Amino acid sequence: HEFGAIQIRMALKKEVAMNGYTGGLLEADTFPKVGEGARARQYVPYSQAMMAWSLVRNHQPWNPAEPEGWAGDLHSEVAIALGLENWAELCLFSAAGSALDWHGMDAWFEFYGVRVTLDVTANPSKFNGYKADVIVTPVAIENADERRDLAATIAEELMSKRQEAAAHQRQQRRTMRAMTACA
């Protein structure tokens, strides 16, 4: 198994090198940088970066319900995978160039209060997971079938997180009812 995984990593490295892609170039091809007001000029610690969500959200390079280019195609395919009639219920935010980007989050999807983060990378050591919920590889950027598979993975992750959030809310309501019943 390990030999096969090594061969796959080597083939991906070769493919990435042949296309001249680096992580930065991949990121630029998929998610445009956030507006000036949300750009991070230097590294900030993780705890500070996690406070930047609303700042980044308010400095988007596009309408998050209708992103453009490759990201727009991915947004459409995730909306289809979710079975949405109203695609505006799903938003895709770029985090490229922001404090979040320093911590492995190039973009994120939001769907009814849940968030799935994306990291665009050409680094094979990140392909089995890193900081973001979902890794976007060069193959997913260049191949429409792989992009559809990526969209299905993102949709599954969104639904899973949504179900977890609903279960947590139900538990909180039960706890509150139990506390008030005894008061």
> pLDDT, tens digit, for every residue of 84-100?
999 999 999 999 999 88
Mean pLDDT of the chain: 82
Please give the pLDDT value at position 1. Answer: 47
Mean pLDDT of 166-170: 76
Prediction pTM value: 0.77
Neighbours of 75 (CB within 10 A): 23
Whether the Cβ atoms of residue 86 and residue 157 lie closer than 8 Å to each other: no
pLDDT range class, residue 182, cuts 50, 70, 90 = low
**122 versus 38: which is more confidently predicted?**
38
Residues 41, 38: Cα–Cα separation, whole Å: 10
For 78, residues 6+ apart whose C-beta sits below 8 A from its C-beta are 90, 92, 109, 151, 154, 155, 158
Instruction: Please tell me the least confidently modeled range out of 7-16, 47-56, 116-125.
Output: 7-16
pLDDT in tens, 119-141: 998 776 666 656 899 999 888 88
Please give the pLDDT value at position 68. Answer: 93
Residue 111: φ, ψ to 5°: -150, 110
**162 versus 9: which is more confidently predicted?**
162
Between the alpha carbon of residue 146 and those of residues 33, 103, 176, the distances in Å are 24, 25, 45
Between the alpha carbon of residue 101 and those of residues 6, 16, 165, 175, the distances in Å are 28, 21, 25, 37
| pLDDT of 72 higher than 70 | yes
Mean pLDDT of 29-54: 84
| pLDDT of 44 higher than 90 | no
